[in-house]
Amino acid sequence: MTPRRVLALALLAVSALLLLTGFGITHHEIIGPLTLGLLDKATAQLVHTLLWGPFVVLLLLHCGRSL
């Protein structure tokens, strides 16, 4: 697997997690049971708050590789 592909897949995973944790905050009554209680509102909030760093770094690297 090429570094470019690894970057793209990592960015995809972080983006999906960002989306999921966002919904975990705004729709915790759905996401909580869906994840078997793994992603409760407080956990979703913490993870969502901390994900911006990896997201921005991966986005920068992804754009740099792709341009």
Query: Which residues make up the interface to other proteins (CB under 8 A)?
Result: 25-29, 41-42, 44-46, 48-50, 52-54, 56-57, 60-61, 63-67
Nearer to other proteins, 36 or 53 (CB): 53
Helix (H) or strand (E) holding 52: helix 52-66
Least distance to other proteins from the beta carbon of 19, Å?
15
Closer Cβ to other proteins, 16 or 63, answer by number: 63
| Alpha-carbon torsion angle 58, 59, 62, 65, nearest 10 | -110
Cα–Cα dist 46/51, whole Å: 9
